[in-house]
Structure 1
């Protein structure tokens, strides 16, 4: 058994509203003719190559929309960890709101890993942008799918049959590649995520052997110079020779009779 890690990304369709002008307009809720909604999503399980994709291209196809959301609900319900880029403020809030609106209830609890928070915590001063595209270019030497400046959202809703098909194809590639980029960045960010212990989900968790908390490798090296120090004591530090992640032992090497207050 390993942790079920789901990497996901959603795309939303624009709302249609009535307005008297183009600039600095206040749009009330009664002016909304068609609300913003989830247009499509892509997701993959860590360790698997296949990227799942579901879409509801037509605003009026309620059956397709519910099916799309149900498949995502099922995936989240079986996930231990969900990885996103800015998902805590966008993707997951959208999904949870739609589950509520559709009467699906809440999936079983999962741990959210929002990679933009890792970037803000560790790399913000050294990166010019917090965008997924920038981290992908700088770290992965890859980039988001470029859609050539065409308005995919307009073409999906209002285009000719050929324009709709072309826009849907690009949107799918755009969505799926975002998931692949997020999945690759998750692996590079793992050593910086002190809130994750993936070894807890493995069948070997209780066998008494020291393993890396990120990749479950036994190929660990003791750091004899630097120790992990808390207000209660000093712990042995370890570095994984396979993935580079650091961890500490559970036994205190040294402590004091008193504690700071």
Structure 2
């Protein structure tokens, strides 16, 4: 594995009985890169992320993160990784601040990190509110805050835009881009939303039925999409797509977001 490769998988495979959730997956994610792992629901994204984190054991193949082979029960690497998975839940009877204090003690982050991370995710108005009383969007912000609290070198995020409104999606997009470009953080993020990945990722991998069927840089991916649109869509369909983008930009401008 190259010293510039932070996340690597070789022939990574996971079967559940007769179901081939992930099959012979080959990944190489470079340091400071944002890698978008794009696929429909059920394509194998979450299963892949769980294997990358050592939460489940592969049927075959292997995963390495930051030069260390990942196996279930291996915890020494987690001080350098931040992650968000769909089933991760905060303590509902604790406040946002108290939940982050629990996370701080687990990761060894400095005390100042709590206030800094609350501000980073714009959770100040909710810092002393019980987590069970938060909206779904603010619960997602808290999950991201927990992932970022200890300033990890690598972020592994399963559907990070879930439950966020359009302005929140843009804020998280800008935050992840800043972490990658200014701090050299490596981001591996899954999504089933093309626009979310296309706006952010340096490289995009498309997974379908557990297999990586395409991988390309953002510009190459965009060029392929434009060519497909010109060939396969009607003039009305292209106009509708442009209108949708214009409406989103207008909505963000009216609600204090950025475009």
TM over 0.5: no
Point out the structure with max Rg over C-alpha: 1
**TM-score (normalised: structure 1):** 0.24
- Which has the larger share of helix? 2
